[in-house]
């Protein structure tokens, strides 16, 4: 079997890449390990993805956004960051900008379903699900992806197989892995008081809590604690769990009730040493697996595939080659510039807010007060959250 490009991994980043490359006129094969049913109808996985305006414009352009039901798109009007219970909050909003929201919250499974539906409607994309990919082999004028049920010869192979990418490792690319020794529990809670579409991130001593507003009188709870405490909460009976969460957040939303399954994610951030090798590129979490605290993982994944598609289009116009060394060098340099500062800043914030020694506590309290009084700082962060810019 042959195609211009083969994508290993049919997660949200892999599927978005397939759509961009199909739109550029390339033939694309997607190889996904999970069965077709998991692609076509993914189950709720607890993640509510905060999307920037730029990410939404990419999804809209790909045709996937129109496939997400309106009820599944929740406005994020304001973000508040607090530390401790009685401290000055740092707030970000769109007041005076004429923009309706800082960003949009959509469940990960709805994004994945919409992307898959769009992919399935494109005759230029072949999806093979339930397929284990073994490795990528070099040929004289291309590469071959060795996979169960038939190898695929192509001019460029793209690994989008997640932050612990086997294909990245087998292609000889190492990665920085930052283990925060914390786990994150995510689930949906219905509550009595309205959230007014305000997201609250609350750094308390010993725990970090975020409440993300979703439609239907509910919020997504995002709780960070040491792994053994998270495991206790994951398995606790529902009534005790509800009471525990209400106490943790100081009853700020009245009665709360668990209305979904609970999901746990270990917190490990990953940054690949390189984003490319011969006729090979990394996309999504396989390139940059962010700590979720700044809500940028998928946003950066979308940006990365946008940059790669732009460079491939330029390479095709130059010499008809989508996987040339020049295409990959330019992609790598641009994606590194777009991600390295955010990766470092996010790890810094995550460390500052998960350590409970006195200097870290004092620094975060003082930090929020100072930051809230600095209008240019707030404007810069608001712009970063919204990311209205187009990638050049
Ligand atoms: C709790 C939480 C909250 C988050 N919140 C946000 C947010 O608010 N905003 C944001 O932008 N991001 C957020 N993220 C990050 C976002 O979820 C990820 O960046 C995104 O899902 C990564 O997509 P991906 O396609 O790169 O990887 P994945 O979703 O991991 O997909 C990888 C795919 O590859 C397949 N695969 C693996 N190995 C192989 C193989 N050998 N052969 C074939 N297929 C293979 C897997 O089955 C899977 O389908 C959050 C993450 C978490 C954990």
Tens digit of pLDDT for each residue in 295-337?
889 999 999 999 999 999 999 999 999 999 999 999 999 999 9
Stronger pLDDT, 87 or 116, i.e. the higher one:
116
The per-residue pLDDT for 378 is: 54
Closest CA to 377 of 94, 29, 101, 90: 90
**What confidence tens digit (pLDDT) does each residue in 81-100 have?**
887 655 677 788 877 777 88
Atom of ligand 1 nearest to the CA of 163: 30
pLDDT at 371 over 60: no
Tokens of 34: 């999970």
Is 14's C-beta closer than 6 angstroms to any atom of ligand 1? yes
The dihedral over CA atoms of 278, 283, 286, 291, expressed in degrees to the nearest 10, equals: 140
**Residues 343/294, Cβ–Cβ less than 8 Å:** no
Residue 21 lies in domain: 5-73+104-177+268-352
Does a structural domain hold residue 222?
no
* CATH number of the domain that residue 315 is part of: 3.50.50.60
Taking residue 370's Cβ as centre, other Cβ atoms within 10 Å add up to 12
Does a structural domain hold residue 259?
no
Tokens of 255: 């009665």
The per-residue pLDDT for 90 is: 78
Does a structural domain hold residue 116?
yes
How far is the centre of ligand 1, averaged over its atoms, from the C-alpha of 152 (Å)?
Answer: 23
How far is the centre of ligand 1, averaged over its atoms, from the C-alpha of 108 (Å)?
Answer: 9
pLDDT band at 355 (very low <50, low <70, confident <90, very high): low
Does a structural domain hold residue 240?
no
**What confidence tens digit (pLDDT) does each residue in 126-154 have?**
999 999 898 999 999 999 999 999 999 99
Closest CA to 253 of 202, 322, 207, 184: 202
**Residues 31/128, Cβ–Cβ less than 8 Å:** yes
pLDDT at 226 over 70: yes
**What confidence tens digit (pLDDT) does each residue in 163-205 have?**
999 999 999 999 999 999 999 999 999 999 999 999 998 887 7
Among the residue ranges 49-53, 74-78, 91-95, the one predicted with the least confidence is 91-95
Q: Calculate the average pLDDT of the chain.
A: 91
Question: Distance between CA atoms of 107 and 263, rounded to whole angstroms?
Answer: 13
Does a structural domain hold residue 112?
yes
Does a structural domain hold residue 89?
no
The per-residue pLDDT for 356 is: 64
Does a structural domain hold residue 301?
yes
The per-residue pLDDT for 193 is: 94
pLDDT at 345 over 90: no
The total number of residues shown for the chain amounts to 392
Which residues 6+ apart lie within 8 Å of 271 measured at CB? 175, 176, 288, 289, 339, 340, 343
Domain count, the chain: 1
Is 284's C-beta closer than 6 angstroms to any atom of ligand 1? yes
Is 296's C-beta closer than 6 angstroms to any atom of ligand 1? yes
How far is the centre of ligand 1, averaged over its atoms, from the C-alpha of 11 (Å)?
Answer: 6
Does a structural domain hold residue 65?
yes
**Residues 175/336, Cβ–Cβ less than 8 Å:** no
pLDDT band at 347 (very low <50, low <70, confident <90, very high): confident
pLDDT at 372 over 80: no
């Amino acid at each position: 079997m042959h195609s211009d490009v083969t994508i290993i991994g049919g997660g949200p980043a892999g599927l978005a890449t397939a759509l961009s490359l199909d739109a550029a006129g390339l033939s694309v094969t997607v190889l996904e390990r999970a069965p077709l049913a998991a692609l076509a109808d993914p189950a709720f996985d607890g993640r509510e993805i905060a999307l920037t305006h730029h990410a939404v414009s990419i999804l809209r352009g790909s045709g996937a956004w129109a496939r997400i039901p309106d009820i599944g798109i929740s406005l994020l009007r304001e973000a508040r960051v607090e530390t401790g219970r009685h401290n000055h909050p740092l707030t970000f909003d769109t007041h005076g900008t004429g923009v309706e929201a800082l960003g949009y919250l959509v469940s990960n499974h709805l994004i994945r379903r919409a992307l898959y539906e769009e992919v399935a409607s494109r005759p230029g994309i072949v999806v093979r699900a339930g397929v284990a990919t073994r490795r990528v082999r070099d040929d004289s004028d291309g590469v071959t992806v060795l996979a169960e049920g038939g190898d695929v010869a192509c001019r460029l192979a793209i690994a989008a197989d997640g932050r612990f990418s086997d294909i990245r490792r087998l292609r000889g690319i190492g990665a920085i892995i930052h283990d925060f020794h914390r786990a994150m529990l995510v689930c949906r809670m219905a509550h009595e008081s309205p959230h007014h579409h305000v997201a609250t991130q609350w750094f308390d001593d010993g725990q970090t809590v975020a409440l993300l507003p979703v439609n239907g009188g509910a919020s997504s709870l995002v709780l960070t604690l040491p792994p053994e405490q998270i495991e206790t909460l994951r398995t606790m009976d529902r009534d005790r769990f509800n009471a525990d969460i209400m106490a943790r957040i100081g009853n700020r939303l009245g009665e709360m009730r668990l209305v979904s399954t609970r999901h746990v994610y270990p917190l490990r951030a990953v940054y690949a040493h390189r984003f490319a090798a011969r006729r090979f590129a990394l996309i999504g979490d396989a390139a940059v697996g962010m700590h979720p605290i700044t809500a940028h993982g998928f946003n950066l994944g979308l940006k990365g595939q946008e940059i790669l598609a732009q460079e491939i289009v330029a390479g095709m116009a130059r010499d008809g080659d989508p996987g040339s060394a020049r295409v990959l060098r330019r992609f790598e340099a641009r994606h590194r510039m777009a991600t390295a500062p955010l990766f470092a800043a996010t790890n810094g914030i995550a460390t500052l807010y998960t350590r409970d020694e006195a200097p870290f506590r004092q620094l975060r309290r003082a930090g929020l007060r100072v930051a809230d009084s600095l209008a240019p700082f707030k404007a810069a962060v608001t712009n970063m959250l919204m990311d209205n810019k187009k990638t050049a």
